[in-house]
Amino acid sequence: MPKITIERSDSELYTPYSGLYSVGLLINEHTSLCRRLNYLPGVPSVSHADAVRSYLGLLCTGKSDFEAMDGVRHDDWFKAALSIRKAPSKESLRQRFDRNATLFDPLAQAASTELLERVKAPISPLSTGHVPLDMDVFTMDNSDTRKEGVSRTYQGYDGYAPIGAYLGQEGWCLGLELREGSQHSQKGFVPFLDEVIRRARQLTKKTLLVRLDAAHDALDTLAALRGHPKVSFIVKWNPRREDPLHWRNRAFAEGRVSEPRPGKKVALLTVRETHVFEKRAYRFSRVMRVTERTVDRFGQRLLVPEITVEGWWSSLDLPEDQVIELYEGHGLCEQFHSEIKTELDMERPPSGKFATNALVLSLAGLAYNILRVIGQAGLVGHASPIRNPAKRRRIRTVIQEMITIAGRLIRSGRRLVLRLGRHCPAFEALMAVHGRFAPG
């Protein structure tokens, strides 16, 4: 090994976060969030906009704790890249969020949709021409804490159970709503559904395909979906106390039966039912799949046949197998949940107050979209430093390849120059992002 001396420079400025300039461009040039924040009452020494910019900068480097402000508070590049005049201390940031959470939260949610609208985010439809809109509840483990709103979740641990909504095959986040861990998925869901569809309408005029799991199998959900124009849906059916033997007999008598392998038979059929909700009759279709196994996948014969009954409420006029295949794409939102929880460090929100954590989660949704925009603009295409093709990059990949890039800062007159290394693999990708989103 060669002998290497490690020293700290007293004059030269360096940064490990060269990509934060892209984050600042999107926040300041493509949303009105900071302008709206500064219209709020009060004239603090650190503006509301600077407090929120600072926290968004932390989130876009993968940090969610307020204590991380100590590491960037006096960083010239952090402040310059995000247009921060004065960065708050960790104590000031926490107190500001605690006092103003309910005022900041709706502005952060609106800014997330506004960003996607202004940058004309690409929204890829499915093969049928529908734009998928997936909504799902997920859990965040906050065991051994006394945070407000933490209670027993359906996963068997104490935590929160927020709900998220994602648009298109890119997974743009249209809503993140923090909920208590014990809150039922359906409670308050219809207002959330209506609001998310309204936001989706700002971004695309194509027909939406709303996909929901069995937790939202309720008449009020189905009726609400029917009330929206140009909205199709697939909602997983909850069999509750249905008799599997009854459905086995009916499906094998009326449906299309196939035998994928010896000892396994699958029947598909569509049933139509009329239900009354708020004195109005609705006609719904449900795709059914009944599977009977007499031999397991290892070739072992079963003493008693194993019967599995599944169903999906759907407004699509498509063959049963195609409806089921479209619903299977709903599972992709589990990856989006994971990116928010782990890669944006949202598993355990930083505050003990519910309203503050709700604001933090809304800002995480905005940070998620900012990083997704950067990833789609810089990491998908010929300029990408990553050579394997992909339609979408994970948030972790965007942080690693586009945000955490070492650079040297040079002050020349009144200019601040960021100089990247000769062999920086992300240079072309960064220039592609700046060329697309920089003003003028």
Whether residue 440 has pLDDT greater than 90 = no
Judge whether 4 lies within some domain: no
| Overall average pLDDT of the 282-288 stretch | 96
Same-domain check for residues 21 and 77: yes
Judge whether 114 lies within some domain: yes
pLDDT tens column, 344-369: 999 999 999 999 999 999 999 999 99
Same-domain check for residues 39 and 86: yes
Q: Provide, rounded to the nearest whole percent, the portion of the chain with pLDDT above 90.
A: 80
Whether residue 377 has pLDDT greater than 70 = yes
Residue 5 — very low, low, confident or very high, per pLDDT cuts 50/70/90?
low
Same-domain check for residues 106 and 254: no
DSSP state of 89: P
**Taking the CB of residue 192, how many other CB atoms lie within 10 A of it?**
15
**Among 342, 331, 343, 368, residue whose Cα is nearest residue 121:** 368
Q: Which residues pair with 175 in a beta bridge?
A: 165
Same-domain check for residues 216 and 155: yes
Whether residue 11 has pLDDT greater than 80 = no
Instruction: Decide if 404 contacts 19 (C-beta within 8 A).
Output: yes
Same-domain check for residues 230 and 339: yes
Apex CA 168: angle with CA 329 and CA 191, to 5°? 95
Same-domain check for residues 306 and 356: no
Residue 390: predicted pLDDT = 76
Whether residue 13 has pLDDT greater than 90 = no
Same-domain check for residues 134 and 264: no
More confident residue, 307 or 429: 307
Domain that holds residue 138: 124-236+316-348
Q: What is the mean pLDDT of the chain?
A: 93
| Residue in this structure with the two tokens 């601040």, named with its chain if needed | 416
- Residue type at position 290: V
pLDDT tens column, 232-251: 999 999 998 899 999 999 99
Whether residue 197 has pLDDT greater than 90 = yes
pLDDT tens column, 26-72: 999 999 999 999 899 877 889 999 999 999 999 999 999 999 999 99
Same-domain check for residues 285 and 158: no
| Overall average pLDDT of the 272-290 stretch | 94
Residue 416 — very low, low, confident or very high, per pLDDT cuts 50/70/90?
confident
| CATH number of domain containing 164 | 3.30.420.10
Same-domain check for residues 162 and 177: yes
In angstroms, rounded to a whole number, what is the distance separating the alpha carbons of residues 353 and 344? 19
Count of the separate structural domains present in the chain: 3
Residue 7: predicted pLDDT = 67
Whether residue 14 has pLDDT greater than 90 = no
Same-domain check for residues 189 and 337: yes
Residue 8 — very low, low, confident or very high, per pLDDT cuts 50/70/90?
low
Judge whether 3 lies within some domain: no
Same-domain check for residues 285 and 380: no
In angstroms, rounded to a whole number, what is the distance separating the alpha carbons of residues 305 and 294? 5
Same-domain check for residues 208 and 144: yes
Whether residue 387 has pLDDT greater than 70 = no
Judge whether 2 lies within some domain: no
Judge whether 271 lies within some domain: yes
Whether residue 185 has pLDDT greater than 90 = yes
Judge whether 215 lies within some domain: yes
Residue 12 — very low, low, confident or very high, per pLDDT cuts 50/70/90?
low
Residue 202 — very low, low, confident or very high, per pLDDT cuts 50/70/90?
very high
Judge whether 262 lies within some domain: yes
**Residue 178, C-beta contacts closer than 8 angstroms, at least 6 positions apart:** 149, 160, 162, 349, 354, 357, 358, 361
Judge whether 187 lies within some domain: yes
CA count, 13 A, side-chain hemisphere, 142 = 31
pLDDT tens column, 143-180: 999 999 999 999 999 999 999 999 999 999 999 999 99
pLDDT tens column, 75-86: 889 999 999 999
**Taking the CB of residue 285, how many other CB atoms lie within 10 A of it?**
15
